[in-house]
């Protein structure tokens, strides 16, 4: 039986240049609703740049990104690989639909945890303060931090800061969540609490893309694994296919250097 579910995200011929340096060299990717994709690759392979292009913190140099069947931007010329023009109001709407969780938390130090979660609701969505506080409180509870609502970031652990950042992204009710190595800045003993939140979101049916070096977690979290090398998707498949039985030499070599994981 043919799968007729339309992709939530479709990426076609995505390229990104920084001057003469071509970081992404033609990414094609469909993401179905509810799919959890882990993205692996060596440093400098283009993983983080891909995520930043998907929520348009970086503007693609060529190619097309579609959300729920609607292309973002307008082609300047014919062809799917043509450069596209984007307007700031359109990109603001896209960023509300595509949430992003960063490596370094990016919390406002002068705001409490709940104020950080409220900020986008107030300034972007224009929600009244009392309602924004109610919604923010619910998301802090969801990540296990209801008791830290009035605490400033300086008094939070790294894992707690990252969970506040996840609550902030969830508060905007995004259709797609992007995680850019969310545990890389954490002490090892704090990694588990963040990964537990991400796994719970996966079990809730959230559509997510996760760039990570936690290969063992990727195996248990993902419905699909992508291995990126030199700006292209080098290998794609189920966790068993890519992590247990990789076909490509580059993937095999990468996994051999990350042999501390188990599944």
Position 81 scores a pLDDT of: 56
Strand partners, 10: 30, 66
Per-residue tokens: 80? 């799917």
The number of distinct structural domains making up the chain is: 1
Decide if 23 is inside a domain: yes
pTM above 0.75, yes or no: yes
Decide if 263 is inside a domain: no
207: Cβ–Cβ under 8 A, 6 or more apart, which residues?
Answer: 8, 9, 31, 32, 33, 34, 35, 36, 175, 176, 177
Decide if 224 is inside a domain: yes
Position 78 scores a pLDDT of: 64
The stretches in the chain having pLDDT less than 50 are 1-2
Decide if 46 is inside a domain: yes
Q: Which domain holds residue 89?
A: 9-256
Position 1 scores a pLDDT of: 42
Q: How many residues does the chain have?
A: 263
Decide if 143 is inside a domain: yes
Decide if 161 is inside a domain: yes
Token pair 């690759």 in the structure block, residue: 41
Helix axes 158-171, 129-142, angle to 10 degrees: 130
CATH number of the structural domain spanning residue 41:
3.40.50.300
Decide if 261 is inside a domain: no
DSSP string for 37-65: EEEE--TTSSHHHHHHHHTTSS--SEEEE
Per-residue DSSP letter, 196: H
Position 259 scores a pLDDT of: 64
Decide if 84 is inside a domain: yes
Position 79 scores a pLDDT of: 56
Beta-carbon count within 10 A of 257 CB = 8
5: Cβ–Cβ under 8 A, 6 or more apart, which residues?
Answer: 32, 33
């Amino acid at each position: 039986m043919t799968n007729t579910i339309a992709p939530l995200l479709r990426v076609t011929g995505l390229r990104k240049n920084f001057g003469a340096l071509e970081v992404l060299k033609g990414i094609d990717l469909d993401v179905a609703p509810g799919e959890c994709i882990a993205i692996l690759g060596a440093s400098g392979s283009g993983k983080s740049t891909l995520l930043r292009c998907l929520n348009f913190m970086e503007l693609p140099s060529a190619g097309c990104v579609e959300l729920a069947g609607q292309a973002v931007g307008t082609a300047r010329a014919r062809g799917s690989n043509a450069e596209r023009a984007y307007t700031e109001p359109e990109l603001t709407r896209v960023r509300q639909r595509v949430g992003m969780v960063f490596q370094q938390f990016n919390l406002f130090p002068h705001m409490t945890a709940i104020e950080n979660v409220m900020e986008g609701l107030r300034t972007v969505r224009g929600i009244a303060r009392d309602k924004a506080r109610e919604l923010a409180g619910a998301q802090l509870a969801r990540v296990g931090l209801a008791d830290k609502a009035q605490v400033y970031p300086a008094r939070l652990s790294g894992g707690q800061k990252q969970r506040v950042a996840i609550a902030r992204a969830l508060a905007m009710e995004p259709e797609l969540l992007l995680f850019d190595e969310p545990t890389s800045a954490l002490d090892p003993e704090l990694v588990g609490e963040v990964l537990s939140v991400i796994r719970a979101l996966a079990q809730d049916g959230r559509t997510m893309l996760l760039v990570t070096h936690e290969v063992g977690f990727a195996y248990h979290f993902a419905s699909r694994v992508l291995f990126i090398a030199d700006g292209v998707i080098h290998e794609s498949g189920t966790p068993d296919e890519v992590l247990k039985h990789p076909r490509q030499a580059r993937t095999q070599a990468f996994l051999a250097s990350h042999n501390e994981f188990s599944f």
